[in-house]
Amino acid sequence: MPQLNVNMIALRLTRHSDRQSILTAYSREAGRLSIAIPAGAGRGAARIQALTMPLSLLQGVVDARPGREIVNVKGLQLAEPLHSLHSHPVKQMTGMFLAEVLACVLRDNEGDPIVWSFIESAVKVLDSLIDTKATANFHLWFLYRLGALMGVEPDVSTYTDGALLDLRDGMWRRSPALHGEWLDREESRAVWMLSRMTVGNMHRYRFSRAERNRILDGLIDYYSAHLVSLHRLKSLEVLRMML
């Protein structure tokens, strides 16, 4: 039976039966995986479930036979401890939201080392953040940069002051698109500002909660127009209230 050592990012744990849960994870070596995880009240099951919180960085050996929808894992363990991601309330909620986004967006079963490296490094950045503004803006930066890696980054060369972002073709225009899928001037400028946001300067973007939520709405609309609908994410409303 072929075995494959994999590095994974935990996305979602779903109860499958009284004895089994299914971990949805994204791996560097094999892309998206569905992994059988013991469920129940036993010590071993509780330990594994604690390991698989959203965005946990994991290592393990999986059964790599082609055609299997659900694989088994051996030696599941943390690849790297995250010291604040799962204890800091805002970071924890941000992690839950981004893991839910990734579970929707990363449908391809083949791994992408560039996407993997971005997500892995971003998780470590979120865990290490101290500044409250940087922490509050992190999910906006992440969504913009992930979209760029997925090939749907807006054409920032078309931006001019006062222009409107056409959600269908990803270009800024001087007048509203006839099809009705566009952002207003403030939202359009905010998306352009995200193109200039980096890990090093995200703490300088002093958005209010209302502004941050309008920007998030714009990003969700953009993703929904180009990749997959994100309007029904379970964690979305809680994130809005916290940030």
pLDDT digits (tens, 9 = 90+) for 173-215: 999 988 889 899 999 999 999 999 999 999 999 999 999 999 9
Q: Are 12 and 23 in contact (CB under 8 A)?
A: yes
Among 28, 84, 82, 16, which Cα is nearest to 60's?
28
**pLDDT-derived band of residue 117, with 50, 70 and 90 as boundaries?**
very high
CB atoms within 10 A of CB 126: 25
- Report the pLDDT averaged over residues 95-119: 92
Q: Is the pLDDT of residue 1 over 60?
A: no
Task: Tell me what pLDDT residue 47 has.
Answer: 81
Task: Tell me what pLDDT residue 16 has.
Answer: 81
Task: Tell me what pLDDT residue 57 has.
Answer: 97
Task: Tell me what pLDDT residue 142 has.
Answer: 98
Distance CA 81, CA 154 (A): 35
The residues, any chain, with a CB within 8 Å of residue 200's CB and separated by 6 or more, are none
Between residues 42 and 70, which one has the greater pLDDT?
A: 70
Per-residue CA distances from 137 to 22, 26, 85, 129 (Å): 31, 24, 15, 11
**pLDDT-derived band of residue 129, with 50, 70 and 90 as boundaries?**
very high
Q: Are 156 and 114 in contact (CB under 8 A)?
A: no
CB atoms within 10 A of CB 86: 17
Between residues 156 and 43, which one has the greater pLDDT?
A: 156
This prediction has a pTM of: 0.93
Task: Tell me what pLDDT residue 49 has.
Answer: 77
Q: Is the pLDDT of residue 44 over 80?
A: no
Tracing tokens 């849960």 back to the chain, one arrives at 21
- Tens digits of residue pLDDT in 45-92: 778 878 899 999 999 999 877 778 899 999 999 999 999 999 999 999
Q: Are 214 and 186 in contact (CB under 8 A)?
A: yes
- Report the pLDDT averaged over residues 127-146: 97
